[in-house]
Structure 1
Amino acid sequence: MFGTPKRGVGAYATVGLETGVAAASPQKLVVMLYDGVIVALLSAINHIKSSNVAAKGASISKAITIIDNGLRASLDKKAGGEIAQNLDALYDYMSRRLLQANMKNDIAIIEEVHSLMSDLREAWVAIGEKSDTAEQAVPAIQRAPTLMSA
């Protein structure tokens, strides 16, 4: 009548994820995409180790989809200039490497892409922290004149 507890937890997690996405800044959304790729890559490694070929392929496909349809698609090459061009080339490289890893069941290639993704994620997190600090300083600066005139 009420379904299984597992379905309820799954629905709750989906709502939590959707709420997080809706409330996230563009910078945070990029970090979430990196997180998705990293989780898919770790899953692919585990599936290779357990000889689960179908699940390995699904995990690598998920990582490639996030890279191509999320990260690459969100690049603004005009506004981003050389940085966006370089990221586009790096994302293309990672997608091609993951295709090779899938064909060869090569954990080393997946670990290479994982390392690149982790480095990029760390950089985006640092950008977000600097941005958050700057945003917090602005209201304090805007309040300062009213405090001084009082």
Structure 2
Amino acid sequence: MFGSRHTGVHAYAKVGMETGVVAASPHKLIVMLFDGALVALSTALNGMRSGNIAEKGKSISKAIMIIDSGLRAALDKKAGGEIAEGLDSLYEYMSGRLVTANITNEPAILEEVQRLLIELRDAWNAIADTPAASGIKQPNLASA
């Protein structure tokens, strides 16, 4: 009559995630994309190691979607210049490697992409406390 407990937990988690997205700063949204891709890759690794081909494929596809439609799409190449161009190339490389991992069933490739994403996420988190990342405009002390 009311649905399963499992369904309720998923609905609650979805509301919590959606609320977090609405309230998040642009900086936090990028961190959430990195985290989502990393979760998808962990699930893909588990699927690959256990022989669950459907789980592996679905999770790799999800990671590729997050990288291409999230992280890559968020790049502002005009404002970001060479850094944004370099990240775009790196994201393209990662997506290609994930396709290869899916075809060849090689966990080492998934682990390589995980390491790259962790390094980028950690670097992104390191700038989290800067005024530009928080979106808070700092007063111009030079004119005071």
Shared fold by TM > 0.5? yes
Q: Give the corresponding residue for 2:76.
A: 76
> Post-superposition shift, 1:9?
1.4
Identity in percent? 59
Q: Give the corresponding residue for 2:47.
A: 47
- Give the letter aligned to residue 54 of structure 1: A
CA RMSD of aligned residues (A): 2.2
Runs of 4+ aligned structure 1 residues displaced above 3 Å come to 130-136
Q: Which has the higher helix share?
A: 1
> Post-superposition shift, 1:27?
0.6
Q: Give the corresponding residue for 2:9.
A: 9
CA distance in 2, matches of 1:134, 1:63: 26
CA distance in 1, matches of 2:135, 2:26: 15
Q: Give the corresponding residue for 2:112.
A: 112
- What is the DSSP-based 3-state SS (H/G/I as helix, E as strand, rest coil) of the residue aligned with 2:130? helix
CA distance in 2, matches of 1:90, 1:133: 22
- Give the letter aligned to residue 23 of structure 1: A
2:37 is aligned with 1:37: yes
Rg larger in structure: 1
CA distance in 1, matches of 2:40, 2:134: 33
Q: Measured at CA, do residues 127 and 96 of structure 1 come closer, stay the same or move farther in structure 2, by a change above 3 Å?
A: same
Q: Give the corresponding residue for 1:99.
A: 99
CA distance in 2, matches of 1:50, 1:65: 23
Q: Measured at CA, do residues 25 and 113 of structure 1 come closer, stay the same or move farther in structure 2, by a change above 3 Å?
A: same
Note the residue ranges of structure 1 that are not aligned, 5 or more in a row: 146-150
Alignment deviations for residues 43-70 of structure 1 (CA, whole Å, 9 cap, x no partner):
1111111001111011100000000000
Task: State the number of aligned residues.
Answer: 141
> Post-superposition shift, 1:133?
9.7
CA distance in 2, matches of 1:81, 1:124: 17
Alignment deviations for residues 116-135 of structure 1 (CA, whole Å, 9 cap, x no partner):
00000001111113349988
- Give the letter aligned to residue 59 of structure 2: S
CA distance in 2, matches of 1:122, 1:57: 27
Note the residue ranges of structure 2 that are not aligned, 5 or more in a row: none
Q: Give the corresponding residue for 1:148.
A: none
TM-score, normalising length: structure 1: 0.86
